[in-house]
């Protein structure tokens, strides 16, 4: 729990890789100092509810570990969450999660936005503030700092701006998102909110694109998978409700002998039958789901290529700010390329055709928006990214190319340097380079 509190307080704004390094360091320090903890600490296992996580996934939160950690941070952090969300994944997830609770969506540029905030606070409804820049209007400071107070009449109230105190609705929730990929928030903002980095990860994007591929290639398989996921989610909720009901009856039971309480006995009998049926159904669903996942895994190479291309496209914005393309746009190109690929019954040939078509069409469409001088860089980045993922290009060689040779120390002066690319250049794979650069 100590490590979970540290994670919720501190690591939300960092990338998945740095979060893993940070938690590993904290765990090591705890073990060294004799603080009892497990060596395989996971924020998701400690603070995540499996039933709630299933519901998040159904509402389009990616199932990779970073996204699930972000879900825990949004729901468990004491301070309201500010999501760094350039691909709008958090935005979409929150809208799906709270669409049945009449969530209000505003920006600080919306007319009478403070009135919308007041309505949500008064009526206890969720509020989403979108498109934040690098500052937050001080009019909502009292909400961010949780300055609600108990009035003389026994109701919770809060004062907004210079207006009279308003009743503070029990169901009120505040979420904030920004499309800025690398915002620089000053300390006075960071101490009021929980920063959460929702920038898409490679594994999360692969999962999303895999769903798109399977919907096109095997629609029945994906439909069955969605059906099973929804059914399993309902069954888990039912089991949870049964457990809570039994615990409530045990807590409220005032009879000395539990077996003398008829209501409890009837409930236990009914729950035994219901839980038995649900467990049987869930066991069957797990077997079917394994077969479905095996079918889906055959198309991972296609989703992997789409993920590689997207991150190369996203990196082009570092060369020129005009080269910004949304994830949604790349997904549209990805799906159009699948539709235009000629059908083939042979799976290996079909996968190869899909990868080639997706690479060529996305390359052609993105290249139209590049200056001539930058097209070669874009081509080279695709080629090297594909090769590095395939293990053809050595990481040491790539780092040498980017950063140059490391400074030679006095102990290394007499050591003959080794060329990390020597083995690679002996037999370069021109076919892959050509197909990526075509």
Find the CATH number of the domain harbouring 131. Answer: 3.40.50.300
Query: Which of 173, 200, 227 is the last residue before a domain boundary?
Result: 200
Q: Is residue 357 part of a domain?
A: yes
CATH of the domain at 352: 1.10.8.1220
Helix (H), strand (E) at residue 424: helix 422-426
**Helices of type H across 299-371:** 300-315, 327-340, 347-367
Please tell me whether residue 182 adopts helix, strand or coil conformation. Answer: coil
- Same structural domain for residues 398 and 304? yes
- Same structural domain for residues 283 and 307? no
| Residue 49 tokens, joined | 């509810």
Please tell me whether residue 146 adopts helix, strand or coil conformation. Answer: coil
Q: Is residue 333 part of a domain?
A: yes
Give the contacts of 227 (CB within 8 A, at least 6 positions apart).
none
Separation between Cα atoms, residue 219 and residue 217, nearest integer Å? 6
- Same structural domain for residues 118 and 245? no
Q: Is residue 330 part of a domain?
A: yes
pLDDT (0 to 100) of residue 136: 93
Q: Is residue 224 part of a domain?
A: yes
What's the pLDDT tens digit per position in 359-392? Answer: 999 999 999 999 999 999 999 999 999 999 988 8
Query: Which of 200, 222, 240 is the last residue before a domain boundary?
Result: 200
- Same structural domain for residues 155 and 214? no
List the domain range (segments joined by +) for residue 353.
300-406+417-437
Q: Is residue 249 part of a domain?
A: yes
- Same structural domain for residues 213 and 193? no
pLDDT (0 to 100) of residue 221: 83
- Same structural domain for residues 304 and 432? yes
- Same structural domain for residues 122 and 135? yes
Give the count of domains, the chain.
3
Q: Is residue 347 part of a domain?
A: yes
pLDDT (0 to 100) of residue 259: 61
- Same structural domain for residues 152 and 231? no
Q: Is residue 44 part of a domain?
A: no
Residue ranges with strand state E in 151-309 = 156-158, 166-167, 173-178, 194-197
- Same structural domain for residues 248 and 143? no
pLDDT (0 to 100) of residue 271: 82
Count the residues in the chain. Answer: 438
Burial of 410 (0-12, 13-18, 19+ CB in 10 A): exposed
- Same structural domain for residues 304 and 230? no
Residues of the chain with pLDDT under 50: 433-434, 438
Query: Which of 271, 297, 323 is the last residue before a domain boundary?
Result: 297
Please tell me whether residue 164 adopts helix, strand or coil conformation. Answer: coil
Q: Is residue 280 part of a domain?
A: yes
pTM for the full predicted model? 0.76
End-to-end CA distance of the chain: 53
- Same structural domain for residues 190 and 212? no
pLDDT (0 to 100) of residue 151: 86
- Same structural domain for residues 284 and 262? yes
Give the contacts of 406 (CB within 8 A, at least 6 positions apart).
none
């Amino acid at each position: 729990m100590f490590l979970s509190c540290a994670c919720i307080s501190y690591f939300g704004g960092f990338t998945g890789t740095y979060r893993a390094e940070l938690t590993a360091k904290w765990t090591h320090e705890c073990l060294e100092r004799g603080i009892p903890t497990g060596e395989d600490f996971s924020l998701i296992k400690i603070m995540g509810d499996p039933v709630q996580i299933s519901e998040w996934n159904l509402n389009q939160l990616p199932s990779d570990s970073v996204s699930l950690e972000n879900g825990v941070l949004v729901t468990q952090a004491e301070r309201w969450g500010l999501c760094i969300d350039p691909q709008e994944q958090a935005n979409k997830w929150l809208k799906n999660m709270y669409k049945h609770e009449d969530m209000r969506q505003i920006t600080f540029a919306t007319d009478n936005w403070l009135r919308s905030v007041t309505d949500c606070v008064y009526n206890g409804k969720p509020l989403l503030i979108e498109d934040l820049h690098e500052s937050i209007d001080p009019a909502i400071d009292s909400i961010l700092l949780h300055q609600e107070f108990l009035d003389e009449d026994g109701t919770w109230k809060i004062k907004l701006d210079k207006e009279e105190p308003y009743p503070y609705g029990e169901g009120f929730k505040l979420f904030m998102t920004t499309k800025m990929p690398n915002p620089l928030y000053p300390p006075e903002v960071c101490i009021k909110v929980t920063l959460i980095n929702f920038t898409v990860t490679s594994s999360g994007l692969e999962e999303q694109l895999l769903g798109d591929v399977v919907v096109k290639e095997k629609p029945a398989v994906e439909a069955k998978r969605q059906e099973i996921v929804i059914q399993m989610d309902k069954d888990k909720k039912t089991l949870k409700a049964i457990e809570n009901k039994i615990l409530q009856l045990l807590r409220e039971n005032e009879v000395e002998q539990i077996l003398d309480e008829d209501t409890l006995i009837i409930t236990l009998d009914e729950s035994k039958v219901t839980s038995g049926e649900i467990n049987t159904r869930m066991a069957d669903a797990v077997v079917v789901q394994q077969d479905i996942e095996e079918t889906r895994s055959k198309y991972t190479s296609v989703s992997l290529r789409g993920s590689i291309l997207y991150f190369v496209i996203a990196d082009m914005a570092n060369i020129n700010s005009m080269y910004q393309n949304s994830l949604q746009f790349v997904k549209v190109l990805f799906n159009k390329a699948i539709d235009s690929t000629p059908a083939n019954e042979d799976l290996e040939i079909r996968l190869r055709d899909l990868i080639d078509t997706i690479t060529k069409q996305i390359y052609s469409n993105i290249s139209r928006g590049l200056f001539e001088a930058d097209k070669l860089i874009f081509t080279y980045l695709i080629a090297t990214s594909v090769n590095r993922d395939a293990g053809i290009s050595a990481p040491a060689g790539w780092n040498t190319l980017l950063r140059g040779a490391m400074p030679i120390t006095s102990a290394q002066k007499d050591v003959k340097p080794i060329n990390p690319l020597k083995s690679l250049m002996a037999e370069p794979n021109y076919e892959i380079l050509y197909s990526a650069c075509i």
